[in-house]
Amino acid sequence: MTDIALSLRDVTKSFGSTEIIRGVSLDIKKGERHAIIGPNGAGKTTVFNLISGRFPISSGEILLNGNRIDELAPHRINRLGLSRSFQITSIFPRMSVFENLRCALLWSMGYRYSFWTPLWRQKELNEKTIAFLEDLNLLPRRDVAAGLLSYADQRALEIGMTIAGGASVILLDEPTAGMSNTETDNAVELIRRVSTGKTLVMVEHDMRVVFGLADIITVLVYGQIIASGPPHEVRANPAVQEAYLGALEAA
């Protein structure tokens, strides 16, 4: 039990009378790199939204390191060590790249809602922010408004903000969507580097990324898991092949 980082038990989600997630059960081990794949509309992003507390679940249970989190607000889940990125880049566009990352560090470093701490004098915080910027290759852009960054840089910042808080479980929602091949390679490298020692769950369409990164792949179709296992097993699974209509062979 203790080596399970994230656990979903019979999770369902309905919007009105439409059931989007139809009973998903999944255990993700600590330190695992886990990819969730599936055709469009399968409910992959919805699963992320349920885990991260963006939407409430309709029934079932979600546990993070053995604790129920399915009734907590997103910021409480985040404080328990689960952090997520968004498919559509979600940063603070009018703030500088530096401020974006620094804000992502604030809570984990115990600053809370302080309105008396002068940020410019927080040596450790600022050094850590710089170190992250360096790691993300964003240091030359530190004073640029985040909204003016190139798309690939925004995606890198998005990942950086997701991991900066030191969460042990990281959810990445299509981290390489819309990137060129080179950019994707860089992003994969970045994800591999920053997710070391952490539990990584990602939704991804690019099969190169999925098979390059994931230890375990879960296939979601119409709100249900049809397969879950190591890449070679999933690839050989006839149900998966049917659902994907040969998309996997192309990869």
Partner 1 sequence: MTERTSRHTVVWLIAILIAVAAPWAFFNYTTGRQSGFVVSMLSQMGMMSILALSYNMLLGQAGLFSLCHATFFGIGGYATIHFLTLAGDGTLPIPLELVPVLSGLSGLALAVVFGSMAAKQRATAFAMITLGIGELMTTAALMFHHFFGGEGGVNSNRVIGHSLFGLKYASGIQVYYLIVGWTVICALAMYYLTRTPLGRMANATRDNFERAQFIGYDPRTVRFMQFALSGFFAGIGGGLYAITYEIVTFDALAAPLSANALLMAYIGGSAVFGGPVLGAVLITLLQSGVSLMSNSWVIYVGVLFICMVIFAPNGIMGLVLAHGPIARAGKLRLLLVPYARLLVPVLLVLFGFIGLVELTSFLTIGAAQGKTLVLYGRKIDVNSLTPWLISTAALVLGGALLRIEARAFHRVWESLMIELMPARVAA
The only residue of 6, 11, 24, 52 in contact with partner 1, by rule CB under 8 A: 52
| Integer angstrom CA distances of residue 11 from 19, 58, 81, 101, 242 | 11, 7, 21, 33, 25
Closer to partner 1 by Cβ: residue 17 or 121: 121
Residues in the chain: 251
> Least separation, in Å, of the C-beta of 107 and partner 1?
3
Closer to partner 1 by Cβ: residue 138 or 207: 138
x-marked contacts with partner 1 along 124-163 as a string, rule CB under 8 A: -------------------------------------xx-
Q: What is the enclosing helix (H) or strand (E) of 200?
A: strand 199-203
114: contact with partner 1 by CB under 8 A: yes
CA distance 45 to 122: 37
79: contact with partner 1 by CB under 8 A: yes
CA distance 28 to 11: 15
Is residue 89 a contact partner of residue 152, using CB atoms and an 8 Å limit?
no
Chain residues that interact with partner 1, rule: CB under 8 A: 52, 54, 73-75, 78-79, 83-84, 86, 90-95, 99, 102-104, 106-108, 111-120, 161-162, 164-165
